[in-house]
Amino acid sequence: MTSPSRVNATRGVGAALAIGLCVAAGQFAQAIEVMEGMPPVVDPTNLYSETAAGRMSPAVAGAVPRIYVPSLGSDQVYVIDPDKFQVVDRFPVGREPHHIVPSWDLKTLWVANTGRRGAEGSLTPIDPKTARPGPAIRVADPYNLYFLPNGRSAIAVAERLRRLDFRDPQEMAMQQSLATPQCPGVNHADFSIDGKYAIFTCEFGGGGLIKVDMVNRKVVDRLSLSRGGMPQDIRIAPDGKVFYVADMMADGVFVVDGDAFKEIGFIPTGIGSHGLYPSRDGTKLYATYRGVGDPHGRRSGPGGVSVIDFATRAVVVNWPIPGGGSPDMGNVSADGKLLWLSGRYHSVVYAIDTTTGAVTIIPVGREPHGLTVWPQPGRYSLGHTGNMR
């Protein structure tokens, strides 16, 4: 695998040139001062500018277009050909695979296998050029996986153990562990526009958020949400000013000022709000709702997707899943035309047309969870199922 520092230096030159050209053209008044070693923010008004359709990194050249689906109930990964809309492969991984995570340097896809108790767990690497797995690495309780914006550490989210484990981004050896006792069920995360802090959701214990200083690697604050109880995915707005937080018990999305770390709004969606994915043009946020108000799959109503307009912070359309459904985690296709989502309690994957909302359903193994679409546009990955920048 390519070293993060070498990849960072190469990409940094191109990004720095791009930002220089933009400033010279009078588009921006000021560049963002980012975490040391992090690639520059090319467009401060849209931090997703480099994840637009067609902006593929040379690092993903040769990657086979596939949808990788972790089946929590069968300890396998199902592989879908997105052109054929059918499963073309499957292979065993570790126990309880939850998410499939692109590495910071885009060279590897990591299957996060939590194990079934305590400090069990492993990470299974997938080579995107062959779409096949390699030998697993033992890692304690990796429910989710993120990467520092400068690529120098992976962050294994040890949900059961209530801690964040900073690890070598390639070999996964432990660098440092940060206890998060104030965050039961530490879960999903996203990073500030400058990369200097991240906000993590706390799924259990009444819910809430913690703010983590990523420069000094310490928890600096905790926030309770007004009507929340089980926050799930979190995603930053294109201009970096607010974070959107899906809450499965509140049946909607909270709006949080990240710098001030306070709740400033709420957007009702469907029952069991869960996953959040920006459109390729950076104008919309796809918010999934599972139709389930608890983590055990007890039905409360139909599942679907609410499309939120970033500019107005309002839902512009809802796309119901035929027959109810339970859309969970996933991502947008490289061209932005399809939203791929796992159907957590229906043993299926949904491919949703982002123009019409039409749904194609593909059977997979039991309890599919954090699927990823690969390859995706972007310079580097911050983790999860492809938080690309």
Name the pLDDT band for 13 (thresholds 50, 70, 90): very low
Give dist(CA 226, CA 147) in Å, integer: 30
pLDDT at 23: 41
pLDDT at 30: 75
The domains of the chain are located at 4-374
pLDDT at 294: 59
Q: What is the pLDDT of residues 61-85, one digit of tens each?
A: 999 999 999 999 999 999 999 999 9
Give dist(CA 253, CA 359) in Å, integer: 23
Range in 4-8, 291-295, 367-371 the model is least confident about: 4-8
Average per-residue pLDDT for the chain:
92
Name the pLDDT band for 388 (thresholds 50, 70, 90): very high
Q: Taking a C-beta distance cutoff of 8 angstroms, is the pair 302, 321 a contact?
A: yes
pLDDT at 8: 44
| The dihedral formed by the CA atoms of 137, 140, 141 and 145, expressed in degrees to the nearest 10 | -60
Please give the average per-residue pLDDT across 338-365, as a whole number: 97
Q: What percent of the chain has pLDDT over 90?
A: 86
* Torsion sign (Cα): 57, 60, 62, 66: negative
Give dist(CA 78, CA 169) in Å, integer: 25
Q: How many CB atoms lie within 10 A of CB 363?
A: 13
pLDDT at 25: 36
pTM: 0.92
Give dist(CA 189, CA 379) in Å, integer: 19
Contacts of 238 (CB under 8 A, 6+ apart): 45, 46, 47, 48, 278, 282, 310
Burial annotation 196-221 (CB, 10 A radius, 16+ → b, else e)? bbbbbbbbbeebbbbbbebeebebee
DSSP string for residues in 332-380: E-TTSSEEEEEETTTTEEEEEETTT--EEEEE-SSSB-B-EEES--SS-
Which strand (E) or helix (H) includes residue 138? strand 137-138
Give dist(CA 244, CA 265) in Å, integer: 9
- Can you tell me whether residue 51 is helix, strand or coil? helix
Residue 310 has pLDDT above 90, yes or no: yes
Residue 258 has pLDDT above 50, yes or no: yes
| Structural Rg of the chain based on CA atoms | 19
pLDDT at 20: 44
pLDDT at 289: 96
Instruction: Find, among 354, 316, 351, 317, the residue nearest to 336 by Cα.
Output: 354
pLDDT at 228: 72
Instruction: Find, among 67, 43, 44, 66, the residue nearest to 55 by Cα.
Output: 43
pLDDT at 229: 85
**DSSP structural state of residue 11:** H
Name the pLDDT band for 21 (thresholds 50, 70, 90): very low
Residue 281 has pLDDT above 50, yes or no: yes
Give dist(CA 210, CA 301) in Å, integer: 30
Enter the CATH code of domain 4-374.
Answer: 2.130.10.10
Alpha helices in 250-341 (DSSP H): none
Q: Taking a C-beta distance cutoff of 8 angstroms, is the pair 80, 338 a contact?
A: no
Please give the average per-residue pLDDT across 361-379, as a whole number: 98
Name the pLDDT band for 119 (thresholds 50, 70, 90): confident
**4 or 154: which leads in pLDDT:** 154
pLDDT at 299: 58
Residue type at 91? F
- Can you tell me whether residue 217 is helix, strand or coil? coil
